[in-house]
DNA sequence: CGAAAAGCGGACCTCAATGGTCCTATTCAG
DNA sequence: CTGAATAGGACCATTGAGGTCCGCTTTTCG
């Protein structure tokens, strides 16, 4: 799996925060419960995102987390990189003299091409493209 | 790292075999030494590739491994898949009701788009594009 | 035939990363 | 001051990657 569970959690949490942005800080507990993410673990992820400036955290009563950026201004690429670090595609373990062309091996180019393609897809989407729609009206849906 | 060390080893071994194709079976020991790959480990990889029909293995004295396919007929995509299994990009751990659009979430589409892009790059190259050039003339190189 | 030279394949080991927990300290509203 | 919240460090468990070992089988050749 290229992207970890941590990424999944973080991404969904951010989606959730994007939705509540206007309504002030959301507590860790709320997010964890709604999204069914282990609270302590989510805490770590959010702390990490707070340090990177993606979310802001407020302590004390009526504290919680708020999205600190415009949803439409932050790309998937950026978010994923901030949570998981850069996506490493391939590491060649050959010694120089074993590599086909020594420093100019086609393989390196292929894999850097792969990396670029990944980045290019992920850069085309921003947080704003993903909305946490509450599935409002308790799901029995249609009419009433 | 998306592609494992195993993949690296396997890929390089195949490059090596592609080069020697005409000269009959190459022993595990030779490949392992030349490419500086742990012998026992390489053995496993080659066994795996033998089962998939990419290489053919001959037992007994004067046995070894031979490439069983036309280098230009097998894509990187196929090789990597055979060694590492399909490239899994993202697994969503949300429950259905937590997923933004329930079964039709944009996230799924983005990540499947990523997967396609990777596949498309890797499918453009075949084993024939990668040649193990022996770095003949012992490297002190230039004039002399 | 029988020994040596290969590969086969299953059991096993090790280590680092992932995923996750816990507990204490800090901060702040009321 | 007290209680509700995050911060953050220490810790733990599971998993998978990477790798080793060794006995078994097949095949060639003298
Ligand atoms: S053989 Fe590794 S990059 Fe060329
Ligand atoms: S929230 Fe996971 S795929 Fe939509």
- Whether residue A98 is predicted with pLDDT greater than 90 in this model: the reply is no
- Kindly report the number of other CB atoms within 10 A of residue B114's CB atom: 23
| pLDDT at site B56 | 98
β-bridge pairing B55-58 and A64-67: unpaired
Task: Please tell me if residue B101 touches chain A, with a CB cutoff of 8 Å.
Answer: yes
CA angle A73, A9, A111 (to 5 degrees): 70
**Strand D nucleotides where any atom sits below 7 Å of a protein CB:** 3-9, 17-22, 25-29
pLDDT at residue number B131: 79
pLDDT digits (tens, 9 = 90+) for B12-42: 999 999 999 999 999 999 999 999 999 999 9
Residue A142 has pLDDT above 60, yes or no: no
Q: A65 versus A107: which is more confidently predicted?
A: A65
- Dump pLDDT digits (tens) for B82-112: 999 999 999 988 876 667 666 678 888 999 9
Q: What is the pLDDT of residue B134?
A: 61
In degrees, rounded to 5, the angle at the alpha carbon of residue B141 between the alpha carbons of residues B138 and B144 is 105
Q: In terms of DSSP bridges, do strands A64-67 and A55-58 run parallel, antiparallel, or are they unpaired?
A: antiparallel
Rounded to whole angstroms, the Cα distance separating B127 from B69 reads 10
Separation of alpha carbons A71 and A21, rounded Å: 10
Check: pTM over 0.85? Answer yes or no. Answer: yes
Rounded Cα–Cα distance for residues A52 and A46 (Å): 10
Measured between alpha carbons, how far is B54 from B112 in angstroms, rounded to an integer?
Answer: 27
What average pLDDT does the segment A12-38 reach? 95
Structure tokens at B59: 């037992």
Say what the pLDDT of residue A105 is: 79
pLDDT at A140 over 60: no
Q: CA B88, B90, B95, B96 torsion: positive or negative?
A: negative
Inter-chain CB proximity A2 and B113 less than 8 Å: no
> Which structure tokens are listed for B91?
């697994």
The helix (run of H) or strand (run of E) holding residue A112 is helix A106-123
How confident is residue A95, by pLDDT bands cut at 50, 70 and 90?
confident
* Total length of chain B: 144
User: Domain map of chain B by residue range?
Assistant: 5-142
CA distances from A139 to A37, B96, B97, B102 (A): 22, 12, 9, 11
Chain B contact present for A139, CB below 8 A: yes
Compute the C-alpha angle B132/B115/A19, nearest 5°: 145
Flag whether pLDDT at B77 surpasses 80. Answer: yes
The whole-number pLDDT of residue B102 equals 60
Q: Over the stretch B37-59, which tens digit does the pLDDT of each residue have?
A: 999 999 999 999 999 999 999 99
Q: At what angle do helices B39-51 and B28-35 cross, to 10 degrees?
A: 120
| Residues having CB within 6 Å of any atom of ligand 1 | A 92, 94, 99-100, 105, 107-108; B 12
Q: Which CATH architecture group holds A5-142?
A: Orthogonal Bundle (1.10)
Q: Residues of A with CB below 8 A from B133's CB?
A: 100-101
Percent of chain A clearing pLDDT 90 (strictly above): 75
Reading the block at residue B143, the tokens are 């004039």
Which pLDDT band, with edges at 50, 70 and 90, does A132 fall under?
confident
For residue B52, the SS3 value is coil
Closest ligand 2 atom, residue B99 Cα:
1
- Our answer on whether the CB atom of B128 is closer than 6 Å to any ligand 2 atom is no
* Alpha-carbon gap, residue A111 to A94, rounded angstroms: 15
Atom of ligand 1 nearest to the CA of B12: 1
Q: Would you state the pLDDT for residue B95? A: 78
């Amino acid at each position: 799996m290229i992207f970890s569970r941590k990424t999944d959690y973080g991404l969904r949490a951010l989606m959730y925060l994007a939705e509540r942005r206007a309504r002030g800080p959301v507590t860790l507990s709320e997010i964890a419960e709604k999204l069914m993410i282990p609270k302590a673990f989510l805490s770590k992820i959010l702390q990490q995102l707070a340090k990177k400036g993606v979310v802001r955290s407020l302590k004390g009563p009526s504290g919680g987390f708020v999205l600190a950026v415009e949803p439409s201004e932050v790309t998937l690429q950026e978010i994923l990189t901030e949570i998981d670090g850069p996506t490493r595609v391939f590491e060649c373990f050959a010694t120089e003299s074993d590599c086909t062309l020594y420093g100019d091996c086609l393989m390196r180019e292929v894999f850097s091409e792969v990396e670029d393609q990944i980045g290019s897809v992920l850069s085309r989407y921003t947080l704003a493209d993903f909305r946490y729609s509450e599935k409002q009206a308790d799901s029995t849906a249609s009419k009433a």
